[in-house]
Amino acid sequence: MLLLALETSCDETSAAIVHDGVIRSSAVSSQIRLHSEYGGVVPELAAREHLRNLIPVTQTALREAALPAEQLDAVAATQGPGLPMALLVGFRSAQALAFSLRKPFIGIHHHEAHLYSPWINHFEKFQRNLSLIVSGGHTMLVLVEGVFKHRVLGATVDDAAGECFDKTGKLMGLAYPAGPEIDRLAEQGNPKAYDFPRPMLNDAGDDFSFSGLKTSVRYFLRDNPAILDNAQSVRDLCASVQSAIVEVLVTKTVRAARRNGVRCVTASGGVTCNRALRAQLAAACRQAGLSLRLAEQKLCTDNAAMIGIVAEQKLRREAKCDYDEDIMPGWQLA
Ligand code: KG4
Ligand code: ZN
């Protein structure tokens, strides 16, 4: 099956061609520079930028796959959750293209796409797993019993882990999104320099909370403003904050995996790019005798390839033609 997928839920405009479970091409145009001026994503600007970029990005994906649109068997797009106006651009464009080609269209859940992204190009190896989805908008633990048989065990009750990276970074004066910069600065910092809380670490459940950590960094900087004048202290601060976030994510993921008797752990979403998270999750899984599948770095942040792979799997199971479906901005993973 040759399928075109579009993703426009937040600040990346992306198009991809997938063919029988393999990515033939993937084009991503990031709006990060546009939004960093405002310290976060501006929904109206994001939607306008998607409108501007969607056709060139789609043309790039088709050109790289050496494919005329007429050869497509189906079209897919992110249906939700996401910024309403941003979602509308990709969703309605994909529906219109599918309609004009008289081909099936399917809307895909953004988190479901993250959830299965560690299996891209290797779906035949799929096994029962415990999955950590960790991004700018969400942090959740999901028990995946089989393909499309999953159950959310826990999620953040307030800020997502990526949001915690971005907002604490903003307090330190770092540009949006601060996650990658904290990762870089933390490399030469001491993670034990400053002691920050590990929220809900010892909680019996699988939920997360990161707003208290953000607040404690805020009070710490209010009481120690000189920290920001010293480059090494900033690196230590980044390492200490990162260490608190990563410890909570790793400990709770491995604990949930053991409790549910799974042998495999997966992780996906933008924060899975974080090198400390990747390394510490790998070490903890090794120690616990669990196998680990991390989404490839370029597939961790938002992209249409993961939408396409899930769309293909769904269309193989059930023929759909959702021309009349609408976006679902607040759609939660069940
Ligand atoms: O999955 P994603 O592209 O968008 C959402 O669905 O939210 O994730 C973006 C998030 C941002 O919060 C960004 O700061 C974070 O992923 N991120 C990182 C790193 N790279 C991206 N956080 C920590 N370390 C990184 N290397
Ligand atoms: Zn995402």
Q: What is the pLDDT of residue 124?
A: 87
Confidence band (pLDDT; 50, 70, 90) for 322?
confident
Residues of the chain with CATH 3.30.420.40: 2-115+301-316, 127-294
Q: Ligand 1, closest atom to CA 163?
A: 12
Lowest-pLDDT choice from 119-123, 208-212, 263-267 = 119-123
Short-list 96, 108, 98, CA closest to 74: 98
pLDDT at 123: 85
* Ligand 1 atom 13: residue of nearest CA: 179
Whether 254 shows a pLDDT value over 90: the answer reads yes
Q: At 10, is the pLDDT very low, low, confident or very high (cuts 50, 70, 90)?
A: very high
The mean pLDDT value for 195-217 works out to 96
Q: How far is CA 124 from CA 28, 109, 120, 304, 316, in A?
A: 26, 22, 10, 21, 14
Atom of ligand 1 nearest to the CA of 9: 6
Query: To the nearest whole number, what is the mean pLDDT of the chain?
Result: 96
The third-level CATH classification (topology) of the domain covering 127-294 is: Nucleotidyltransferase; domain 5 (3.30.420)
How far is the centre of ligand 1, averaged over its atoms, from the C-alpha of 295 (Å)?
Answer: 13
- Does domain 2-115+301-316 sit in CATH 3.30.420.40? yes
Pocket of ligand 1 (CB under 6 A): 10, 135-137, 162, 165-166, 177, 179-180, 183, 269-271, 273-274, 301-302
Nearest CA to ligand 1 atom 3: 301
Q: Which CA distances in Å does 80 have to 68, 70, 329?
A: 28, 27, 5
pLDDT category of residue 40 using cuts at 50, 70 and 90: confident
Amino acid 32: pLDDT? 86
Q: Choose the residue to mutate in 135, 184, 249 for probing ligand 1, maximizing ligand atoms within 8 Å of C-beta.
A: 135
